[in-house]
Structure 1
Amino acid sequence: MNYKDITPQNLLKITTLGQLRAAGYEPKSVKQELRDNLISKLRNKEEVFPGIWGYEETVIPDMQRAILSMHHINLLGLRGQAKTRLARMLVELLDEYIPVVAGSELNDDPLQPLSVFAKHLILEKGDDTPVAWMHRSERYTEKLATPDVSVADLIGDADPIKAATLKLPYSDERVIHFGLIPRSHRGIFVINELPDLQARIQVSLFNILQEGDIQIRGFKVRLPLDIQFVFTANPEDYTNRGSIVTPLKDRIDSQIITHYPKSIEVGKKITLQEARIHKEQQQIVTTNQLVSDLIEQVAMEARESEFVDAKSGVSARLTISAYENTISAAERRALINGEAQTFVRVTDFLAAVPALTGKVELVYEGEQEGPSIVAQKLMGKAIRNQFLNYFPDPDKQKKLKEQNAYKKVTDWFGEGHTLDILQDMPAAEYNKSLNSVPGLAALVDKLHSKSDAQTKLFLMEFCLHGLAEHSLISRNKLTAGLQFKDLLSSMFTMPSFSDDDDEEEDYGSRKKRK
């Protein structure tokens, strides 16, 4: 009988060492497992890291080369670049089940026992030694590196209570309480944020990576561990908090550089895949492609912004949270107004400021440009850049004079008219307000005739925001929303969109004054 041909269901019926030998089982290292299963997937044209977007030509080939080389791996990159997710997905390249000596805490291979417990049990029972089966999901261990992690946590230490209970000397291996790394024998062990690990703790990993064994205190204990190590690290940590000690870095075979999405399309795939949008929200809120484009554009702008610390990076979690906030803003309005359905507006996108403020590290925290103002500026830049993908360039239109596509709209505001777009404005009022601006609906109809009614309304509002970003009209903050008006008159009345919240004018008091 060939062990390789036995199905997982039949494998579980093998319960003793004798049955395992009879089945033709041969020990295999964890790195060999990863290599063999990767080769099988590549030959069968199977996707190796499903759901990982933007790495198809960069990180994933590097990962595959490292696995084929049977290397320990360090994933180096800024926050929010799927480093931990990649590490966790390596589990799928392990064999579905492996045999272990039943009751062993080090996952001993029945044909290559490691612990004293397993060796004594096999010596005592021989072919009748009980065998258990470990699923690949149980062979993954992850530890976040923090300053309080000790050598005992990772490798182990002598347990005085065990020594006293079993009446054994400290030199006996049976009194050792093994740490996370020995317990990960025949599996994958991941250390997240490696530079945060104290240098003396990093030193304790030298021998494990180079020789595959551990040493606990001064005891003559040598355990040739079989572990696939994966580390993650942030380049920022090399300077701000800690560093990877050079001899340890030298022992990590492959260092793979991760990166952020290089295009809006890739970013959208990641955001839509990861965003947690509840069924109730999906039933109530309708969205469109431009909303996703705007959100991804914000991340692009943040990564290029002079106000945001480039060393810290801008996590993909920013766009995910911003998308969730945008949908929730629309849902909240529908609930308040008792509407069964609603569609996302530009004001919903602008309401996602809280999703940005905690995810961008400013170059000068607490200085003139606060997180909220920076977030609003980034959103404004996103609108400005995306505007040119949907409407004519305002700078070029200015030269056309009478043929200017925006002339009717800007002239109406120039006559002293204003338009308030409030966050919680009911759909009927929102529709009426936008259609009150002469030429706005006709402009959208001309450029986007195939769009549905809801998308056209969104584009009408988007057009006003775009004109404000190009300084053809002004956009000012109200307590409950925004007001569009003529650019010149706004200079003498109300603060601009990017001014501090303290300077906002209360909408209710302004309405009373009118």
Structure 2
Amino acid sequence: MSYKTLKSGELLNIHTLGQLKAAGYQSKSIKDELRENLILKIKNKEQVFEGIWGYEDSVIPDIERAILSQHHINLLGLRGQAKTRIARLMVNLLDEYVPVVTGSELNDDPLQPLSRFAKDLVSEMGDLTPVGWLHRSDRYTEKLATPDVSVADLIGDADPIKAATLKLPYSDERVVHFGLIPRSHRCIFVINELPDLQARIQVSLFNILQEGDIQIRGFKIRLPLDIQFVFTANPEDYTNRGSIVTPLKDRIDSQIVTHYPKTLEIGKKITLQEAKLKHGQSELVSSNNLMDDLIEQIAIEARQSEYVDSKSGVSARMTISAYENLISTAERRALINGEDKTYVRIADLVGVIPAVCGKVELVYEGEVEGPVIVAQNLVGKAIRTQFLNYFPDPEKIKKAAKDKAGKNPFKPIVEWFMDGNIMDILNDGPDKDYSARLRTIDGLDDLIEKVYPAMQGREKLFMMEFVLHGLSEFSMISKKTLEKGLQFKDLTDSLFDLDNFKFDDEDDEDQDDKY
């Protein structure tokens, strides 16, 4: 009977070393497991890293090449680029179960015992040595590198309590307490943020990576550990907090550079996949593709902004948090007004400001402006960019008007505001009031009817509000932030409105947006 033909259920019925030998089990290294199972998945056209988007033609092929080459891997990239998630998904390339000597601290292979405990047990019991089975989900260890991590944490140290309990001298290797790395024998071991590890601690990894063994407090122990190492690092860490020491970097076989989503569609896919919405939220709040695009566009604008530190990056977590806040903003409004259903509004983007403020690192100029102002500007730029995907370019229309050529589809709307009319959109206003207010604006309903004749109901109201925000971003009308909402009015009139000027004793919330 060949081990290869045995199913998981049959493997779990093997309880001794003798039965394992009779089944034809043959030991193999963890890198052989990863390589062989990857080859099978590639041949069967199976997706290896499920849920990872945007890396299909860049990062994932590099990782697969590294696994086929049986390399230790360093994933180098800015925050929020799925480095840790990729490392965790590598577990799926391991065999479902591997045998271990029951009671062993180091996941000893019964056919190739490593620890003193396992060797003594096999020597004493022979084929009757008890065997257990370790599932692949338990063969993953992750450690966040922090300045307080010690060699004892990772490698091990002499344990005085164990020495006293077992009545052994410190010269006996049985008093050694093994650290995380030896306990990860036959496992994937991940060290996140490697540059944060002190240089002297990084030095302790040299032998493990090159020769696969460890040394503890001068004990003559040689443990040929079988470990797949995966490291993650942020390139900014090389200059800010620390660096990877050169000899260690030399021992990491493959360094793979990750990146942010290269298209809005990929970023949107990641955001919608990762956003954690409750069932009640999904039932209560409806959204649309344009709003999804706007959330992702904010991140794109942030990565290009002169106020945001590009070296620090803009994590994908920003758009995920922003999307969750957006839905919660609409949900809260519906709960306040006792509504069973609601639809997102452009004004609900006020709810994403905290998510943006908490996820971007600002340069000096951005700190001077203030995180809230920078976040509002990013939202405004996202609206401006997406507006051109749905409506004519107001800039071109302005130029055409100067040349007395062409027709301005926004003219009735702008003239309505020029007549002295003002439109307030309250953050928590009920849907009926929201609808009634928008429909009072001359030409707004007609514009949507002409450009999107099939659009009806709440989606149409959403697009009507989008027009107002878009026109304000192109300086055709004015938009002002109020304490409880937004106010749209004529641009020329706002220039002479003293309320738009900020004096020292005025509240920051009651001023014109910079854009």
TM-score by length of 2: 0.96
8 A Cα contact 2:472 2:478, kept in partner: yes
Report SS of the residue matched to 2:369.
Answer: coil
Change (3 A) 1:366 1:414: closer
TM superposition shift of 1:494? 5.6
Report SS of the residue matched to 1:109.
Answer: coil
8 A Cα contact 1:475 1:496, kept in partner: no
8 A Cα contact 2:307 2:366, kept in partner: no
Match of 2:375 in 1: 375
Cα separation, 1, equivalents of 2:500 and 2:276: 34
TM superposition shift of 1:181? 0.1
Match of 1:441 in 2: 445
8 A Cα contact 2:192 2:231, kept in partner: yes
Match of 1:342 in 2: 342
Please tell me whether residue 179 in structure 1 is matched to residue 179 in structure 2: yes
Cα separation, 2, equivalents of 1:483 and 1:500: 22
Please tell me whether residue 486 in structure 1 is matched to residue 490 in structure 2: yes
Report SS of the residue matched to 2:70.
Answer: coil
Please tell me whether residue 358 in structure 1 is matched to residue 358 in structure 2: yes
Match of 2:232 in 1: 232
8 A Cα contact 1:157 1:178, kept in partner: yes
Match of 1:460 in 2: 464
Please tell me whether residue 193 in structure 1 is matched to residue 187 in structure 2: no
Cα separation, 1, equivalents of 2:501 and 2:252: 50
Match of 2:321 in 1: 321
User: 1:382-461 residue pairs with structure 2 within 5 A?
Assistant: 382-401=382-401, 403-461=407-465
TM superposition shift of 1:452? 3.4
Cα separation, 2, equivalents of 1:357 and 1:501: 24
Letter paired with 2:297: Q
Cα separation, 2, equivalents of 1:138 and 1:116: 22
Change (3 A) 1:411 1:499: farther
Change (3 A) 1:18 1:495: farther
8 A Cα contact 2:308 2:366, kept in partner: no
Which string of whole-angstrom CA distances, capped at 9 and with x for unpartnered residues, describes residues 341-366 of structure 1?
00000011232100100111000177
Which segments of 5 or more consecutive residues in structure 2 lack a partner in the other structure?
Answer: none
Report SS of the residue matched to 1:38.
Answer: helix
Cα separation, 1, equivalents of 2:122 and 2:88: 33
Letter paired with 2:238: Y
Moved more, 392-401 or 368-377: 392-401
TM superposition shift of 1:171? 2.4
Change (3 A) 1:466 1:5: same
TM superposition shift of 1:499? 11
Cα separation, 2, equivalents of 1:319 and 1:346: 16
Cα separation, 2, equivalents of 1:118 and 1:443: 79
Which string of whole-angstrom CA distances, capped at 9 and with x for unpartnered residues, describes residues 71-128 of structure 1?
0000000000000000000000000000000000000000000001000000110000
Change (3 A) 1:137 1:408: same
Letter paired with 1:213: D
Letter paired with 2:22: A
Please tell me whether residue 57 in structure 1 is matched to residue 57 in structure 2: yes
8 A Cα contact 1:479 1:504, kept in partner: no
TM superposition shift of 1:162? 1.4
Report SS of the residue matched to 1:403.
Answer: coil
CA root-mean-square deviation: 1.7
Match of 1:283 in 2: 283
Match of 1:293 in 2: 293
Change (3 A) 1:103 1:363: same
Change (3 A) 1:254 1:346: same
Change (3 A) 1:268 1:501: farther
TM superposition shift of 1:58? 0.4
Report SS of the residue matched to 1:88.
Answer: helix
TM superposition shift of 1:444? 1.1
Report SS of the residue matched to 1:368.
Answer: helix
Which string of whole-angstrom CA distances, capped at 9 and with x for unpartnered residues, describes residues 358-382 of structure 1?
1110001774211111000000000
TM superposition shift of 1:46? 0.3
8 A Cα contact 1:416 1:485, kept in partner: yes
Cα separation, 1, equivalents of 2:203 and 2:156: 15
Question: Percent same amino acid among aligned pairs?
Answer: 70
Cα separation, 2, equivalents of 1:501 and 1:371: 20
Which segments of 5 or more consecutive residues in structure 1 lack a partner in the other structure?
Answer: 508-514
Match of 2:476 in 1: 472
Report SS of the residue matched to 2:368.
Answer: coil
Report SS of the residue matched to 1:99.
Answer: strand
Change (3 A) 1:34 1:494: farther
TM-score by length of 1: 0.96
